[in-house]
A and B are shown apart, each in its own frame.
Chain A
Amino acid sequence: MLVDLAQNLLNGLMTGMLIAIPAIGFSAIYAVLRYPNFAIAAYATIGAFAGWWLNATFGLGIVWIILIAFCVSGLVGVAAEQVTLARLRPAGALTVAIASIALNLMLENAVRFLFGNDLRGFDLPIQPDWRILALRIGPQQVQNMLLSLAIMAALFLFLRYSPFGKAMRAVADNADLARLKGINPTRIAVATIFMGAGLAGVGGVLLGLDTSIDPMTGARILLSVFAAAVLGGLGSIPGAVVGALLIGMAEEVSLLAFPATYKTAIGFVAILLMLTLRPRGLLGERAL
């Protein structure tokens, strides 16, 4: 029993690390643009398919796949934002959020139209799981976790030390003051969407490496991503990471007690509890 618990916690940690990347993207977009962008699911799917296509066609290695998937998803995100959501911003956050759900469906079906509904897998060698004590862990999972950590570290350095990263944080903190200081919030918004959608795309690739991909890849994790961001505090990037790890572990541990069908309920329960008890989230700055 204890071994089962430890195994599920470990699996949850792995899942959490994968969810964390799109959750960071989601939270970053929320921090700067102040609306929840549910099209993040489609950006994850698009990244996954871009990565898979590069891998299947050119046999590119993982680092190249991640970099290109980041750019493809980022560009699709910026284009979709400028054509659709940006025009709706004056109508308020709720309108944009609803429109992003519609945008998500459109993009998902565009992927379906191009690639079909089949499951596809990356061309990876099949490796036996490692056994550490009584726990099983796949080499691919370890690689994914290291990639996820590397991406988070790069992002942290970018936001913490680069002038552009600081400008992003300044706009997220206080857009009016940023404008007074000569920072153009529109440019920062575009850059943030590129980064957020790009991160979702990278998350999609990591998920694809872990299992397989299809046009629903992003949609399946959307609730977990949203729950992670709410749990950690919308707009907080460290919060998104903490939230993702907690959601990942809670989902996996729930399998010990409930049938797998109920796994998705964990996300809803987490959102419900958090909004009731602490609406600003674990690490959030302000209430929703």
Chain B
Amino acid sequence: MTLTPVITEHWDAPDLYTLDGYQRFGGYRALRNALTMDPDAIITTIKDSGLRGRGGAGFPTGLKWSFVPQNDGKPHYLVVNADESEPGACKDIPIMMANPHALVEGVIISSFAIRASHAFIYIRGEVPNALRKVASAVAEARRAGFIGKNILGSGFDLEVVVHAGAGAYICGEETALLDSLEGFRGQPRLKPPFPAVAGLYASPTVINNVETICNIPYILDRGVDWFRQFGTEKSPGFKVWAVSGHVNRPGIYEAPLGITMRELLDYAGGVRNGGEVKFWLPGGSSVPMLTPDHLDIPMTYEEMAAAGTMLGTGTPMIFDTTVSVVKAVTRWLEFYKHESCGKCTPCREGTYWITGMLETFEHGHGAESDLEVLVSACNQIAGRSFCALGDAAATPFPAALKYFRDEFMAATQTPVDEQFDPVASYVFAGAVAR
């Protein structure tokens, strides 16, 4: 399968991030067109395109937009979830760095479609460079008359606010993001009501991922048929794949949905040092891991689900044989324990417990019977926590145990650092003095 650079097509142009650079490659053409359309027609177009959310859950975007009640007399809001914090996920931030105007144009069109006159871009606070790029793109767009009152004479008014989060993973959960945006402590909200009915400031709100929104101008500009020629029936379009880990050329590869990991690995130059894949994750630490046996499965929402995992953010992480799976899982759980917001019992207490138990394995003190307790503890979290953070935290261990039980057994005897030289797994292993 060939690469299909769309969002990333002109990333080598040094001034793509500027308004002039973006317009030189056809930027804001879709907006001019969209503003002449009936907003409902835009929603229909996006529905027809089959675009699914790129933030991890893969919910159909057009369907989400159509949930917003119209003529309800309430203000509507578009909120862009740019709080990319998932371990292993690094696609939204590069997009915002390299092609911020695609996001801005997408925001304007999407707002027009759902009749929002106020849009918010909630950017993870730890990435001020991305924040600056987007803020400056918004300012440029405003000067060009794409944001503000009566945009391009269409009568459509839009304000766009770029908001910096304060560094909490939970704020990537859409309702926690809304609380945070409203100035409260970021914790997920009880649903129903769903954001489409009562979201930001209790008004109908659409929350979309950065990459999802960036797809919008291209779909409108080039058409549904063009979009659907990529991918599969259930997973149409292309994806910004961010490949990381033990590969020779980690980075961003834009290719249709349905590409296999083996193909992506080839584009990424294969495993470093001619090594072998030990395990890999298709999209962030919150999806179950896979093994080399799964390298030829088409990476679509449906095929990944059939393989017992999820496409997630579509940011594969590759681990070669130098890595201890026990250690990797322990690091992820330490992350979830640290980021659990504390609201619900299973996530707050479960991550604390599981992490502690995994650490005993990492140090070679685990007991075989603890493996069953760990599985049971994960089962007590999955599906019972308040939001998906708990589900995510309950994911890594059972998958790891399924494929690498022997390694956990070995960790009942020997500390993992004695089994796996930690330095060998470093990307910069060769540069470390022994």
Bind each other: no
Q: Which residues of A line the B interface, CB within 8 A?
A: none
